[in-house]
Amino acid sequence: FPAARIDAQPTPIFSQFPAPPALSERRPGGLRLLFFGLVRPYKGLDTLLEAMGLLKGRDVSLTVVGEFWSGRKEIEALIGKLGIGNRVTIVPRYVSDEEAASYFAATDAVVLPYRTAASTGVIPLAYHYDKPVIVTDVGGLPDAVVNGETGYVVPPEQPAALAEIISGLTPERAASMAPAIRRLKGTMTWDRLATAVLGQS
């Protein structure tokens, strides 16, 4: 359909999720990362773990929250092989919205090291909690990120490139992105999506 008019719109913010806990405990120092959602091979968790392996000696921790469809034993074996078991926590199950709010509140940045993707609901969920994202340059993921302002875009399946971005990120730098995230998510509304859809009719 060469004459078709196309209007690309980002996935809107999921504003129905609960507010984060009023008081979130934070240990001194250290960067805390979150991988959230169903764990499937195309989401590249192994790439993120390999990046964590390259960050030995750095105070960086990772929490993986999501049900495994397959490959849990392989992931646990990789964690053991890389010697990062003391810095990786796995919550291998579905979590409630309230639990999700706690995990997002406790993190500094959300990582989406996908191999392939069309879009994802994790980015707007992270933005709902004013958290920056680190995404790979696949599908529509980079379209939802202002690189260097609301997060970072890295090449897929390149642990070294991912490790480089993580190594340059601090909790303070991640927190400083909140104003830019709030500005961006102000444009990622359901009203705007509805207007775009109705405008096509």
Residues 55-89 have pLDDT tens digits of 988 999 999 999 998 899 999 999 999 999 999 99
The two tokens of residue 36 are 């959230």
Interaxial angle between packed helices 45-53 and 72-82, expressed in degrees from 0 to 180 and rounded to the nearest 10: 10
Residues 105-121 as b or e (16 or more Cβ within 10 Å = b): bbbbbbbbbbeebeebe
List, in sequence order, every residue forming a beta bridge with 132; answer none if it has no partner: none
CA 24 – CA 4 distance, rounded (Å): 49
pLDDT in tens, 87-129: 999 999 999 999 999 999 999 999 999 999 888 999 999 999 9
Q: Give the sign of the dihedral formed by CA 53, CA 91, CA 11, CA 170.
A: negative
Report, as an integer, the average pLDDT of 145-164.
97
Are 156 and 138 in contact by the 8 Å Cβ rule? The answer is: yes
pLDDT in tens, 7-54: 777 888 888 888 887 654 555 569 999 999 999 999 999 999 999 999
The two tokens of residue 50 are 């390999």
- Three-state DSSP at 110 gives strand
The two tokens of residue 42 are 């195309």
